[in-house]
Amino acid sequence: MTSSLAIRAGGLDDVPAVLVLLDKATEWLVANGRTGQWGTEAHSTDPRRVAQIEGFVAGDGLWIAELDGRVVGALAVGDATSYVPPATEPELYIRLLVTDRVLQGTGIGTDLLEHARTLARGLGVELLRVDCFGGGDGALIRYYEKQGFTRAEPFGVPVSDSEWPGQVLFQRL
């Protein structure tokens, strides 16, 4: 990535920018026929999603990537979500990773994942986990594998009359 990328702690003032990133990512997913991951609706108008991002701030787990003063990515870390199998040792869990789709392929996600590794090491933990959409063509799983993660257990989250397919991945530090 370019040397002008900065990663800093996120605050409540960053919540709208993170929601814009999520909305734009969803628009991209929909335009590419990938509605299974996040559906088709905007995150910025979903009170549950807004509260989730605000919760990341309250838990000191939101990190913002800025390029030339503009928010281009977000990372949230903390405890694992309730719908994944619990870890058997101390861990840091990646709760959210999203980047500006316009800058796809420039390494922002890689830099944010490296920041998560640094945070985990600082906490003295040797396990970093993440979960992602496990359906479709598996592109998101392959992205994390290219970033050094290994597949662990798949899982499902009941949604209406179906099940959202998820995949847990881990990395030893």
Q: How many domains does the chain have?
A: 1
**Structural domain boundaries, residue 67:** 5-172
CATH number at residue 128: 3.40.630.30
pLDDT band at residue 161 under the 50/70/90 scheme? confident
Neighbours of 74 (CB within 10 A): 27
* Mean of pLDDT over the chain: 93
Question: Phi-psi bin for 107: left (phi > 0), alpha (psi -120 to 50), beta?
Answer: left
* 3 state SS for 93-106: EEEEEEECHHHCCC
The confidence score (pLDDT) of residue 3 equals: 58
The confidence score (pLDDT) of residue 38 equals: 82
Tell me, what amino acid is at 90? P
pLDDT of residue 34 exceeding 80: yes
pLDDT band at residue 41 under the 50/70/90 scheme? confident
DSSP summary character for residue 59:
T
The percent of residues above 70 in pLDDT, for the chain, comes to: 98
Residues 6+ apart with CB under 8 A from 169: 129, 130, 131, 132, 141, 144, 145, 149, 150, 151, 152
The answer to whether the pTM exceeds 0.85 is yes
**pLDDT tens readout for residues 83-123:** 999 999 999 999 999 999 889 889 999 999 999 999 999 99
Sign for the CA dihedral angle at 77, 79, 84, 88 comes to positive
Exposed, middle or buried, 40 (CB in 10 Å: 0-12/13-18/19+)?
exposed
pLDDT band at residue 165 under the 50/70/90 scheme? very high
